[in-house]
Each structure stands twice: as structure tokens, then as C-alpha cells.
Amino acid sequence: MTDSAKYRSYSQLEEFLLNFYKLRQNARIHSDNHRLVIRGIEKFSESINNCVENESLTLKISNDQLFIDDEKIPYNRTTKNLFDNIIRYFDTRGLEGVRFLEAVKHVSGEEILAFLRLLEQSGQKPEPLTWLTNCLAEQNIEWVELIKKSEIPQADQESSYKDKAERWERARKDYTYAKASLEEVAQKIKDKKSGAGIGKTVRVVQDMVTNLIEDDEVYAAISTLRVFDDYIFTHSVNVAMLSMCLGRRINLSRRTLASLGICALFHDLGKIEIPNEVLHKKEKLDDSELKLIEEHSLNSARLLLKLKASPESKARILVPLFEHHLKYDLSGYPRADWKKPLTLFGKIISIADKYDTLTSSRAYRKSLLSPDRALGYMLDHAGKDFDPILIKVFINILGVYPVGTLLRLDTDELALVVSSPSRNLSKRPLVCVLEKEGEGSYKKREIINLDERDTETGNYAREIIETYHPATFGIQPVQHMFSSN
């Protein structure tokens, strides 16, 4: 052991970690004068007094391991859940750790609680570390120091909420530009203007590819946060983003990703020729209306041929437009004597198109599938409707509970999935707990990790009881992403 830790046993250090985390849990649930909180303060103070040997005690995370004063604390069967919870708790706040100075031995229980409550509240802020630093300064809490992730390698900083929010904003802009470029092309076609080309769309998609390569998880997530009353063009952008994310995960080149994105963006171009009363009809379509719908993929390919673009560009994206409603076993539509296997683009776009269709609110649909159930349905149809390998990759991208899934927990809380599980740590998602506010509206309450376990029993602190489509409760998921409320 180091000199600062040589008089301390691992059991003392583990006891400190346990008391720190249990006090944090109890302080979050109970009032200051609750017996569990009062007893928790006593035990925390006692354990930290035993551990602060010199001028400070540093609790730090490095490479998914816990260190106290640079001494790695070994995992064992009884401490694994506790350590994992602490690591996740700090990670969501952009912290590498905290340093308790010797003055912590002399602070009151009220001051300790004040710090823990600020630490808890920081998880609800778009920039938790900045907010927490400012609050500690305002309240003159000088017996604890924050160890920031900026002190560790740049690659690890990318998971900070500030950086995540910036990438979300970049993805939103890409989304807006893509939708606008598609609308512009569609309007020129409707107005029968000459010179409608795809040059602007190509540039937009190329920018999307550059940003998506940096963070495909953000692009997969943002495509699920659709606006319920706007379908035609947002659907195409969603399909493009999801398709490119799938292409990225199977290591398509930058140029191929751009071609896939353009193809997916124009896959429903033929629908602009279908009257709105047919597209949005609530009743069952008659035979003539159904024929109009089933012709749209062929019409998408036909309209693409009329756009200004090089023959090479058109050749790369023409066939998948025709294919995207053909299934893996070649059933589906348009009905033709089709013998060749679907192209890779066709298989990818059909998966993205079906997922977005299943999870979108439509006039004719009486009930809505939650995103996780939509994925379950698609997995059940792998090998018949969808390429079985690609569908598994697609599910891996979105996670078992995709961003935007609404959950009911066994605590009777409603929670919205706001982040897919970390590839390194969590197996269950990060969620935003929602609180009802007035008639039919909800506000963000707190961010929690559903992978958190009870330190004594090892059971999950919250279990998922039911999943819903957020539109069932009139919730727009995008309103709760990176907002501090």
C-alpha cells in the first residue's frame, strides 16, 4: 500500500465507500431529519475519519476501476455491485472522482447533506460538472474538490454531457438541413420546375456522414425522437439516419455511406404523387387506393431518373428505391418476377423503413407499438422479412430499449429512455423520470441509471414493468433531451 494508506485496511476503505453510497441513496429519498439519513451521516463521518490519514482522501475512477489515494480497491463478490454503481454515478456527472480534504472531519451533517444533494441534482443538468462547480463555490463548500474528466485523456472526455449536448445540436442541424433539402426537391418536382437536382442534398448527406462517423449513437437516437404530427419528410430523414448508422456499424466506406444516405432520403419520393386524403386515410384503403400506395416505390425510382445528377450517381441508388418494400424472401411489393437477392442498400433501407413506420404515430393506426416491441416484432420476422444478420446489428445499435421508449417502473414512476447503455459498463439504459405537471403534460424530474443495484441484495433498484409508445401519453421525447427544466 502507499504511505497514506498503509494504516488502513481494505475493509475500512470498502466501509467508507459503502457508507458514502448508502448515505447518497437515503438522502435522495428521505428528508434531512429521517432516522436513516441521520444514522447515515454518523456512519459516513466515522468511516471518513478513519480513512483520512494525512491531508486528504481521494476517490478516483480510472479504466473502470476504483482507486483511493492511488491504491486500487480490488473487486470481490460482495463489492462488485457497489463499485459498479459508484463508477456509473460519477460517470454520468462527468467526474473522474472527488477529493475530501482534512477539513471534512470537522464539517456538520448539514454541510455533508448539502454537498450530497448538490451532487445528486447535478445529474439533472445539461452541464453537470460546471453547474456543480459553481454551486460549491456559491455555498463555500471548500472541504471537497472535484476531479474533472478534463484531467484524463481526450478520448475519455467525449462521454461528458457537455460534449454530448454539442453533438446532439450538430445532429439536429443535420436533421433540419436534410429535411429542408428533401422538401425543396419535392416541391420543385410538384411545381414541375426544370433543374431539380440532388447536389444540395448530396452536400448535406456528406456532412451528415462526417458527423455520424464521430458519433453514430447520437444519430441513431435522434432519429427516434420524431414529431408525431409531421410524418412524410421526417420519416425519410429518420430512415436515412438509421440506414447510415447501420451502414456505419458494418464498416461501409465514407463514399458508400453517403450513397446509402441519399438513397434512403429519396426512398419515398414517389409518395408526393399520392393525394393526402389517401396517405392519411383512417379507414381501410380500397383496392385502387392500395394500388396507389404500392406503386410509390416504383414511382420513387421513376422520379429519381428525372433529377439532375450524374448517371453514375443515379445508378448507385436507383435499384434500392424499387426494392425497399420487397422482403428478404422477395415477397412484398411491387409484385414482380424478382429472382435476384436484394441489394445491400435495399435490405438496410427496408429495416430502417419498417422500424420507423412501426414506431410512428399514423392516422390509420389505432394502437402504437413501443420501440422495444417493434424491434421484437422485427426480430421474430428475421429470415423472412429481414436479413437476419442485419436485423441483429440494428437491434444492437438501438439497444433493447431504444431512446424514446417510455417505461413504467415498479416504483410506479414513468421514465423516458434518454441514452442507450454504455458499451463498457451498463446493461440497462439511462432514463429521465417524468413527473405529471398539469393536464396531460410532464416535466423532467431526474436522470437515473436503471442498471443501478441495491448494494446489499444485489437486485436492481428499479425494475421495468411495462413499456409504451410515448405518444400514448402525449409525450414528445425530444422535449426532455438535454433540458434542465
Mean pLDDT, residues 270-299:
86
Q: Residue 9 contacts by C-beta under 8 Å, 6 or more apart in sequence?
A: none
Highest mean pLDDT among 25-29, 82-86, 139-143, 438-442: 139-143
| Per-residue confidence (pLDDT) for residue 149, from 0 to 100 | 60
Say whether pLDDT at 213 is over 80: yes
State the Cα–Cα distance between residues 397 and 80, nearest whole angstrom. 27
With cut-offs at 50, 70 and 90, classify the pLDDT of residue 315: confident
Say whether pLDDT at 398 is over 50: yes
Domain regions of the chain by residue span: 3-149, 161-398, 406-480
Q: Residue 437 contacts by C-beta under 8 Å, 6 or more apart in sequence?
A: 443
With cut-offs at 50, 70 and 90, classify the pLDDT of residue 429: confident
Say whether pLDDT at 54 is over 70: no
Q: What is the mean pLDDT of the chain?
A: 83
**% of the chain beyond a pLDDT of 70:** 87
Highest mean pLDDT among 243-247, 330-334, 478-482: 243-247
Say whether pLDDT at 61 is over 80: yes
Of the candidates 390, 449, 460, the residue with the CA atom closest to the CA atom of residue 422: 449
Against a cut of 0.75, is the pTM above it?
A: no
Q: Which of 7-16, 216-225, 316-325 has the lowest mean pLDDT?
A: 7-16
DSSP state letter for 285: P
With cut-offs at 50, 70 and 90, classify the pLDDT of residue 383: very high
Q: What is the Cβ-side half-sphere exposure of residue 122, based on CA atoms within 13 angstroms? A: 27
DSSP 3-state assignment of 230? coil
Q: Which of 101-115, 205-219, 233-247, 371-385 has the lowest mean pLDDT?
A: 205-219
CB atoms within 10 A of CB 277: 8
Say whether pLDDT at 347 is over 60: yes
Going across the sheet that includes 144-148, the strands are: 71-72, 65-68, 56-62, 95-101, 144-148
Say whether pLDDT at 386 is over 70: yes
Q: Distance between alpha carbon 77 and the CA centroid of its chain, in Å?
A: 31
State the Cα–Cα distance between residues 391 and 184, nearest whole angstrom. 32
pLDDT in tens, 80-94: 778 878 888 888 788
CATH, domain 161-398, list 3.40.720.10, 2.60.40.10, 1.10.3210.10, 3.90.550.10: 1.10.3210.10
Highest mean pLDDT among 80-89, 131-140, 294-303: 131-140
Mean pLDDT, residues 389-409:
92
Q: How far is CA 350 from CA 50, 264, 268, 320, 346, in A?
A: 62, 9, 11, 9, 6
Say whether pLDDT at 14 is over 80: yes
| Per-residue confidence (pLDDT) for residue 161, from 0 to 100 | 47
How many residues are given for the chain? 485
Q: Which of 251-260, 324-333, 454-463 has the lowest mean pLDDT?
A: 454-463
With cut-offs at 50, 70 and 90, classify the pLDDT of residue 232: confident
